[in-house]
Structure 1
Amino acid sequence: MWSDIIQEFADSPSQSRVVRFLLENGFGVTEDGRISCNGIEMPATAVAKAIRSDRRVVDSTARRILERPMLRDIFLNMRATPDLSKVAESLGFAVITVLPKNANERGIVGAAVRVLSNYNLSIRQIFVTDPEFSEEPKLVIIVEDPLPHGVIEEIRALSQVKQVII
């Protein structure tokens, strides 16, 4: 589905950058064509500055999104979720980042979660960067700290795992 959204803007590299930025950050579009994050409107100039573009490109991309029913529904309902990985230590959590050998392979998340559940660890947050949006896709798992001895070694030993970062 993500590739369909990106393909919709294949004729305009500048609008494609806007759409990719919106998707990567969980930003939506309001009924009147303004960029928003969880219902809070953001100036097109701020988005344009972040992607080194022009606010007119951001505005025209938002209008184009609203003209297409499938895109309209997605972007009117897009929500952002907080990423706790930067504050995990302050909250008493550990962050496990898993870099897969092949991000398109199925079962990476399930295998890592099985290892953590075998150690009775409570998962506080888990997210995956989509291989269509990220040059280095990863699985990020935030769990209670301290980590039991052996858990990282078991995750590292999974066949799908290239590297584990703590």
Structure 2
Amino acid sequence: MWDRVKHKFEKFPARMAVARKIVELGLKVGENGKIYCGDVEISDLALARASGVDRRTIKSTVDVILNDDQLSAIFNNIHPAGALLKNIAKNLGFGVVEIEAEAGNPGILAKSTELISREEISIRQAHADDPELEEHPKLTIITEKPVKGELINEFLKIPGVKRVSIS
């Protein structure tokens, strides 16, 4: 996906910033040229501020997307993933495991959830950052109850894992 997006916007860094922000926030570009989060319309001005560009850049980015069948098929079908519970997990009595890993290593999610399941702890959420969007992508796992800190060494044995934090 990103190869196609990058190719279309490589000469226009401001438009690329808008496209990244749309994907990062799970926004979609409607066929009517409006930007939506679910069924809530997002103003061009709000998106421009969040992207660090002016409103005209939002409009020109949307025009490019809608006039390209491949981009339109992508950006018309993005849906928000829902609330990430990471920042409120402690308030809810949940645990958080954050794993920073090298992009492209298969099995990190599977091996991490296996370690957690061995402790008979249920997983509420798992969220993996897109390595194309994040410089240091993380896997965030929200657990039904906090995970023991002693498991950090076990997580670090997983190939590709660079850092782990448990809270």
| Superposition TM-score, scaled by structure 2 size | 0.91
Determine the C-alpha separation between the residues in 1 that align with 2:95 and 2:20.
29
Indicate conservation of the 8 Å contact 1:119/1:151, yes or no.
no
Determine the C-alpha separation between the residues in 1 that align with 2:100 and 2:129.
10
Indicate conservation of the 8 Å contact 1:6/1:20, yes or no.
no
Give the Å deviation of 1:149: 6.2
Determine the C-alpha separation between the residues in 1 that align with 2:24 and 2:7.
16
Q: Which runs of 5+ in 1 are unaligned?
A: none
Could you tell me which residue of structure 1 aligns to residue 73 of structure 2? 73
Summarize the alignment of residues 2-41 of structure 1 with structure 2, pairs less than 5 Å apart.
2-41=2-41
Determine the C-alpha separation between the residues in 1 that align with 2:39 and 2:6.
23
Determine the C-alpha separation between the residues in 1 that align with 2:120 and 2:42.
41
Summarize the alignment of residues 78-157 of structure 1 with structure 2, pairs less than 5 Å apart.
78-81=78-81, 82-100=83-101, 102-148=102-148, 150-157=150-157
Which deviates more from structure 2 when the two are superposed, residues 32-41 or residues 139-148?
139-148
| Superposition TM-score, scaled by structure 1 size | 0.92
Give the Å deviation of 1:136: 0.8
Indicate conservation of the 8 Å contact 2:20/2:133, yes or no.
yes
Identity %: 36
Summarize the alignment of residues 34-49 of structure 1 with structure 2, pairs less than 5 Å apart.
34-49=34-49
Determine the C-alpha separation between the residues in 2 that align with 1:153 and 1:144.
21
Give the Å deviation of 1:51: 1.7
Give the Å deviation of 1:62: 1.0
Indicate conservation of the 8 Å contact 2:152/2:165, yes or no.
no
Runs of 4+ in 1 over 4 A off after TM superposition: none
Give the Å deviation of 1:146: 3.0
Alpha-carbon RMSD across the aligned residues, in angstroms, is 1.5
Deviations 1:30-70 (A, max 9, x none): 12111111121111111111122110100111121111112
Indicate conservation of the 8 Å contact 2:18/2:51, yes or no.
yes
Q: Give secondary structure in 2 for the equivalent of 1:8.
A: helix
